[in-house]
Amino acid sequence: MTMKTVLNNQHRALGGRMVSFAGWDMPVHYGSQMEEHHAVRQTAGMFDVSHMLVVDLAGERTRPFLQYLLANDVARLKASGKALYSCMLNEQGGVIDDLIVYYFQVDAFRMVVNAGCADKDLAWIQQQADSFDVTVTPRRDLAMIAVQGPQARDKTLPLLSPELAEAAAELPVFHAATADDWCVARTGYTGEDGFEIMLPEAKAPVLWQALAEAGVAPCGLGARDTLRLEAGMNLYGSDMDEECSPLEAGLNWTLAWEPETRNFIGRKALEAKRNATDNKRFIGLLLEGRGVLRNHQKLFSDGVEVGEITSGGFAPTLQRSIALARVEPNIGENCTVEIRGKQVPAKVVQPPFARKGKACINLEGDKS
């Protein structure tokens, strides 16, 4: 049975083209994916991300529990509201999910996990939490709206309560403020500034309407994907999964190896591969010929297959086709992509491709 977020009627009233995504009835666009993409890069757009699952964790041993559960180290979270991006691994070092964890107080943390992984994540978290006496509470009573773009904060702040607006106005990046079961986090998945707002479901349609009246463009899954791809942000299930470790997904920076005494799930398996010379590289690609880069297209160097695209598509900000790919470590600065039986040249680049309203690379593939 397809699930619906509390904003489903709003999506349909705005002409959203609805599709099934991770078991949810979600808008892919509202008429023009391209216009929605540009709205986020140039002004402000909003996304219904209520299909993602908020999970609250409580108990005296919540911090040591999360230090065991996650590959990044929540010991870094010292100020209330501070957030951390991390992978949650299996014993083999594969990625069960990537997520954001928030610290509120010594015995209270919050995690936001991906919609497609919510059930398995919850089961895994609960299984690991039992021995730490940590209470795991899925917050299915909360909706979540992401407001992103250079004007996102200015358009959102007047719509919040005075107390929350004052706190949110001062938030550094990757911090959150809370009030009356609302949580406003200065986080996102687009490469632009903005907020992700967790709030009671009953309040979400009112906020959505107020944002629309303030000139924030409703945006669907299509724009969300092109924005995150331009920003060089991984998509679970495409760029990494349970068979792939962070070492080969461009997520080495999320692995906190210090202190050496911290034993997180998957650490032993990762340490065995940490300095291996045959670990695959995770790269960006800029197509130099005609065509569109797509997931699973094969990459070649001197006629030898060297990897595969994990996420690919057209980048509206660059007006070029781009991709993320996992490749052999010895790949050079150029390769070819097999598109409809033809070898099309591509340039190896370092993501991100675009953030904060502009391109991060030029059309020759060099950093600008």
DSSP code string of 267-291: HHHHHHHTT-TTPPEEEEEEE-SSS
Residue 1 pLDDT exceeds 90? no
Q: Sorting pLDDT into bands at 50, 70 and 90, what band is 362?
A: confident
Q: Does domain 8-49+140-230 have CATH number 3.80.10.10?
A: no
Q: How far apart are CA 138 and CA 146, in angstroms?
A: 19
Q: What percent of the chain has a predicted confidence (pLDDT) above 90?
A: 97
Residues 328 and 315 sit within 8 Å (Cβ to Cβ): no
Top CATH class, 280-368: mainly beta
Q: Name the residue with tokens 């938030």.
A: 171
pLDDT score, position 121: 98
Q: What confidence score (pLDDT) does residue 281 get?
A: 98
Task: Return the domain boundaries, the chain.
Answer: 8-49+140-230, 280-368
The answer on pLDDT for 363 being more than 80 is no
Sign of the CA dihedral 336, 314, 355, 49?
A: negative
Picking from 189, 181, 194, 157, the residue whose alpha carbon sits closest to that of residue 43 is 194
Mean pLDDT of 7-13: 98
Tens-place pLDDT, residues 240-298: 999 999 999 999 999 999 999 999 999 999 999 999 999 999 999 999 989 999 999 99
Q: 6: number of CA atoms within 13 Å, CB side?
A: 20
Residues 40, 155: Cα–Cα separation, whole Å: 13
Q: Is 361 helix (H, G, I), strand (E, B) or coil?
A: strand
| CA 315 to chain CA mean position, Å | 17
Are 283 and 332 in contact by the 8 Å Cβ rule? The answer is no
13: confidence class by pLDDT, cuts 50, 70, 90: very high
pLDDT of residue 364: 62
pTM of the model: 0.96
CB-based burial, 24-63: b 16+ in 10 Å, e otherwise? bbbbbbbeebeebbbbbbebbbbbbbbbbbbbbbbbeebb
> Across the chain, what does the average pLDDT equal?
97
Is residue 367 scored above 90 in pLDDT? no
User: What residues are paired with 89 via a beta bridge?
Assistant: 95
pLDDT score, position 258: 97
* Confidence at 368, pLDDT banded by 50, 70, 90: very low
Residue 158 pLDDT > 90, yes or no? yes
Angle separating helix axes 221-230 and 33-42, nearest 10 degrees: 50
Neighbouring C-beta atoms of residue 164, cutoff 10 Å:
20
Q: Which tokens is 269 given?
A: 């398996």
Domains 8-49+140-230 and 280-368 share a fold: no
